[in-house]
A and B are shown apart, each in its own frame.
Chain A
Amino acid sequence: MRNSQRSWRRLISGLVITALAIVPLSSCSKSGSDSSDKVLRISTIPQGETGDKVWAQAAEIFKSKNPGWDVQFVIQDDDLYETVGLPNQLTGSNPPDIYYEWAGDRIVQRHKDGFAAELNDKIESSKLASLFDPSVFKAGSVNGKIVLLPTGQDVTNVIWYDKDVFAKYGLTPPTTWEELLAICDKLKAAGITPFSVGNKDLWVAGNWFAHIYSRIIGEKMYHEIMTLQTPMNSPELVEAMKIVVDLKKKGYVNASANSIADNEGYTLFFKGEAAMLPIGSWIVGTQKDEAPAKKMDFFNIPPISGGKGDQSSVIGVTVGYVINGKSSKIDKAIEFFEGFFSDEITAAWQKQGSSPVTKTAMAEQLDPLQVKLGKLIRSGAPIVAPPDTGYQLKIADALNLATSQVLDGVKSPKDALDEAQAKIGKS
């Protein structure tokens, strides 16, 4: 009896000591910022070496006007940021005050969860109102509330081509899908891989073919499929996906597409091992950093005969920065952006190869490719939202996976889309 009493006392004592030890350890974590915190935290994706210098310049402007304040950057690879990185940061102990986002379903979700501050009044009462045309805020608004300060309108996918290769074989940008296939035939006969795609993370080919599907089945049906109003394995999409089968059978896409990452796909193109690269407008900055001697230009997906969509449509997304709705430094963030969107910093971004959307920038684009991209996205043609940034990630993943399976020849369009529909139907 005495032994068992001692055992119980020891057990209870041990638990009490453990609990006492845990309490100070657990109180070490901070939750959210407090008013004495003079650090503006900005979370973003890599902008290249030259882009980092522009950020540093913007940070210096803010710090010079706010002595005692610091600006901290958290830069994450975009694949990581888009999925795991940003949600982890927002729910962490030092969440960002400002973070990069893509307009679309993502900012709707952020606004719903309280992570996106409504900026209409703040913009009106600050210098920002004079720096932008009000129309550019539309894409970054949720129910009329501006939540995203736009830094660019990314064209998510066009076909970039090697000007030297095209000139060598007497090729010109195609005006129809059939002409594009004829170009691919000529390149293949010359021993050059027509398209270089780095699709390991599924979004590169996903975005490219999503645009093609929308051209074939129509923008409305594409949107209905991506918002679960219409099943993903609809006969129309199954039929549209046969275009992927066609490209695969003819060997127009590099065999390594599904095993190499996006940057490895760029490398194949920059090294001259492929003539065309279906990717977005950000390649302009990458090319300046990694292959400054490369001569390249682009064309939009050419019209596909019989397609129900608008054959001049562009796949694109507005990108920019959101101020964290739970931050105590919203006014300081606005002040930061007054400097960030100033003429000085805008000029620095343009020199870097980016295409800002302030009034000054729109009037004076420096890079001819960015001018051409800007004209494309502002041409008035319908803008198709990319799967991964415009819609729920699960639905985007299901479609992108189906595309990659068909691109690799492991599944037919029907089987791939049946599997995709079964997956999104269960969740």
Chain B
Amino acid sequence: MKPSSRWTPLLLVGPALSIFCLVVLLPLLGTIGLSVTRWNGFGTPSFAGFDNYQRAITDSVFIKSFTNVGVYIAATLILEVLVGLILAGALSSRKSTTIYRVALFVPVMLPMVVVSVLWRFIYNPDFGLINAIVRKLGGENFSQVWLGDTRTALLSICFVSGWVYSGFYLAIFTAGLQRIPRDIIESAALDGASERILFWRIKVPMIKSVNQVSALLCITGGIQGFDLFYVMTGGGPYYTTEVPTTYMVRSVFRDQEIGYGSALAIVVTLIVLVVGFIFTKIRKQNENSLEY
């Protein structure tokens, strides 16, 4: 059915397009413009050419932030996606599991800042819950300065992220597993497949696109991660938990180097686009495989 007027599609798309331009396109163009300047946010920006980009690629803290976010993504692929998948498998094959699914989903609904503040208290080395339990059980030597030790700070944050988002991926995988036709599962069971084989060899391959989307969400979400790191550690100790987003905020708002921070933002954006592009290519290659 054709629209009555040729302007109708444009008018319908217009509001969404204008919001997109206002909150995405214009700030992006503005950021690209600022990335080639030197500016402290108050006076007039001065042109700096590609100095900011040159500085970014030799900035050891910026490079380290990508290492940190790489470790974070690797850990959360396990703690969020894999744990979510295993939980979905465990709960989907049982009855009356609604209460468990709700309980595991509750952390997802909490604002991230609230989660961060809560876990800062739990991790507090002097009067936090974890060290209090460890000391009570007689393990004084096992109590740690969780967020202040370079060996434990990043993994402590990864654990919190897993606690929050495993419920989110549980919900995604549960929906995916429920779409698999029962007759396939039943016939595999009749052929003698155990629960473990059923899950890993039949169910998981049949929800390949869900797996891929979940992994992509986890990776892009990891690169954009900010509030957990900013509130829990501020990027410390000694940049051990510094990620690109916290470093950008530090450069722009603390060091007042708007131009340099903008260049960092453009670099991060390009990296996210490349990652998304690679994933899209991989997904296109797998388009013909059987899945539900």
| Chain A residues engaging chain B, CB cutoff 8 angstroms | 10, 13-14, 17-18, 21-22, 25-26, 83-84, 87-88, 90-91, 109, 113, 115, 200-201, 254-260, 264, 267-268, 273, 393-394, 397, 401, 404-405, 408, 410, 426-427
List, sorted by A's number, 19 A–B pairs whose CB atoms are closer than 8 Å.
Answer: A13-B10, A17-B11, A17-B18, A18-B14, A21-B14, A21-B17, A21-B21, A83-B254, A87-B41, A87-B256, A109-B42, A200-B148, A256-B124, A256-B125, A258-B236, A259-B125, A401-B238, A410-B238, A426-B55
Q: Which residues of A contact B18 (CB under 8 A)?
A: 17-18, 21-22, 25
Q: Which residues of A contact B6 (CB under 8 A)?
A: 10
Q: Which residues of B contact A26 (CB under 8 A)?
A: 22
Q: Which of B245-264 contact A (CB under 8 A)?
A: 249, 253-257
Additional pairs, 11, CB under 8 Å, beyond known A22-B18, A393-B254, A408-B148: A21-B18, A22-B22, A87-B41, A91-B41, A109-B42, A256-B148, A257-B148, A258-B145, A259-B233, A394-B255, A404-B237
Interface check B278, CB cutoff 8 A: no
- CB distance B42 to A255 under 8 Å? no
Q: Which residues of B contact A200 (CB under 8 A)?
A: 148, 233-234, 236
- CB distance A397 to B238 under 8 Å? no
Q: Bound complex: CA of A394 vs CA of B250, how far in Å? A: 10
In the assembled complex, the CB of B93 is this many whole angstroms from the nearest CB of chain A, namely 42
In the assembled complex, the CB of A9 is this many whole angstroms from the nearest CB of chain B, namely 9
- CB distance B148 to A259 under 8 Å? yes
Among A88, A259, A264, A273, find the residue whose CB has the most chain B CB atoms closer than 10 A: A259
Q: Bound complex: CA of A410 vs CA of B126, how far in Å? A: 21
Given A25-B18, A200-B234, A258 contacting B148 (CB threshold 8 A): yes
- CB distance B150 to A410 under 8 Å? yes
Q: Bound complex: CA of A273 vs CA of B126, how far in Å? A: 9
Q: Bound complex: CA of A408 vs CA of B13, how far in Å? A: 57
Contact with A along B108-149 (1 / 0, CB 8 A): 000000000000000011110000000000000000011111
In the assembled complex, the CB of A122 is this many whole angstroms from the nearest CB of chain B, namely 23
Q: Bound complex: CA of A200 vs CA of B125, how far in Å? A: 13
Pick the contact of A18: B17, B150, B234 (CB < 8 A): B17
In the assembled complex, the CB of A108 is this many whole angstroms from the nearest CB of chain B, namely 13
Pick the contact of B253: A87, A90, A404, A405 (CB < 8 A): A87
Q: Bound complex: CA of A424 vs CA of B227, how far in Å? A: 27
Q: Which residues of A contact B153 (CB under 8 A)?
A: 259
Q: Bound complex: CA of A95 vs CA of B252, how far in Å? A: 19
Pick the contact of A259: B11, B13, B147 (CB < 8 A): B147
Interface check B192, CB cutoff 8 A: no
Interface check B15, CB cutoff 8 A: yes
In the assembled complex, the CB of A30 is this many whole angstroms from the nearest CB of chain B, namely 17
Pick the contact of B42: A17, A113, A258, A404 (CB < 8 A): A113
Given A22-B21, A404-B237, A14 contacting B254 (CB threshold 8 A): no
In the assembled complex, the CB of B152 is this many whole angstroms from the nearest CB of chain A, namely 10
| Chain B residues engaging chain A, CB cutoff 8 angstroms | 6-7, 10-11, 13-15, 17-18, 21-22, 26, 41-43, 55, 124-127, 145-150, 153, 233-234, 236-238, 249, 253-257
Q: Bound complex: CA of A200 vs CA of B235, how far in Å? A: 10
In the assembled complex, the CB of A165 is this many whole angstroms from the nearest CB of chain B, namely 17
Q: Bound complex: CA of A87 vs CA of B238, how far in Å? A: 25
In the assembled complex, the CB of B34 is this many whole angstroms from the nearest CB of chain A, namely 13
Q: Bound complex: CA of A408 vs CA of B26, how far in Å? A: 45
Q: Bound complex: CA of A150 vs CA of B7, how far in Å? A: 63
- CB distance A14 to B10 under 8 Å? yes
Q: Bound complex: CA of A363 vs CA of B153, how far in Å? A: 51
The closest CB in chain B to the CB of A422 belongs to B60
Q: Which residues of B contact A14 (CB under 8 A)?
A: 10, 13-14, 17
- CB distance B43 to A113 under 8 Å? yes
Among B18, B55, B126, find the residue whose CB has the most chain A CB atoms closer than 10 A: B126
In the assembled complex, the CB of B53 is this many whole angstroms from the nearest CB of chain A, namely 14
- CB distance B237 to A259 under 8 Å? yes
Q: Which residues of B contact A427 (CB under 8 A)?
A: 255, 257
In the assembled complex, the CB of B146 is this many whole angstroms from the nearest CB of chain A, namely 7
- CB distance B125 to A260 under 8 Å? yes
Q: Which residues of A contact B257 (CB under 8 A)?
A: 427
Q: Which residues of A contact B127 (CB under 8 A)?
A: 267
**9 closest A-B pairs (Cβ-Cβ)?**
A259-B148, A21-B18, A84-B253, A256-B125, A113-B42, A83-B254, A17-B14, A259-B147, A258-B148
Q: Which residues of B contact A255 (CB under 8 A)?
A: 125, 145
- CB distance B10 to A10 under 8 Å? yes
Pick the contact of B21: A18, A256, A258, A410 (CB < 8 A): A18
Q: Bound complex: CA of A25 vs CA of B234, how far in Å? A: 35
The closest CB in chain B to the CB of A90 belongs to B42
Q: Bound complex: CA of A259 vs CA of B249, how far in Å? A: 20
Among A256, A258, A401, find the residue whose CB has the most chain B CB atoms closer than 10 A: A256
Q: Bound complex: CA of A109 vs CA of B11, how far in Å? A: 48
Q: Bound complex: CA of A37 vs CA of B21, how far in Å? A: 31
In the assembled complex, the CB of B222 is this many whole angstroms from the nearest CB of chain A, namely 23
In the assembled complex, the CB of A10 is this many whole angstroms from the nearest CB of chain B, namely 7
Q: Which residues of A contact B253 (CB under 8 A)?
A: 83-84, 87-88
- CB distance B126 to A84 under 8 Å? no
Q: Which residues of B contact A13 (CB under 8 A)?
A: 7, 10
Q: Bound complex: CA of A101 vs CA of B153, how far in Å? A: 34
Q: Which residues of A contact B238 (CB under 8 A)?
A: 401, 404-405, 408, 410
Q: Which residues of A contact B42 (CB under 8 A)?
A: 87, 90-91, 109, 113, 115
Q: Which residues of B contact A401 (CB under 8 A)?
A: 238
In the assembled complex, the CB of B144 is this many whole angstroms from the nearest CB of chain A, namely 10
In the assembled complex, the CB of B5 is this many whole angstroms from the nearest CB of chain A, namely 12
In the assembled complex, the CB of A419 is this many whole angstroms from the nearest CB of chain B, namely 9
- CB distance A259 to B146 under 8 Å? yes
Q: Which residues of A contact B10 (CB under 8 A)?
A: 10, 13-14, 17
Q: Which residues of B contact A267 (CB under 8 A)?
A: 127
Among B15, B22, B238, B249, find the residue whose CB has the most chain A CB atoms closer than 10 A: B238
Q: Bound complex: CA of A181 vs CA of B171, how far in Å? A: 58
Q: Bound complex: CA of A198 vs CA of B188, how far in Å? A: 60
In the assembled complex, the CB of A423 is this many whole angstroms from the nearest CB of chain B, namely 8
- CB distance B126 to A254 under 8 Å? yes
Q: Bound complex: CA of A197 vs CA of B256, how far in Å? A: 28
The closest CB in chain A to the CB of B257 belongs to A427
- CB distance B237 to A260 under 8 Å? no
Q: Bound complex: CA of A426 vs CA of B149, how far in Å? A: 28
Among A18, A21, A201, A273, find the residue whose CB has the most chain B CB atoms closer than 10 A: A18
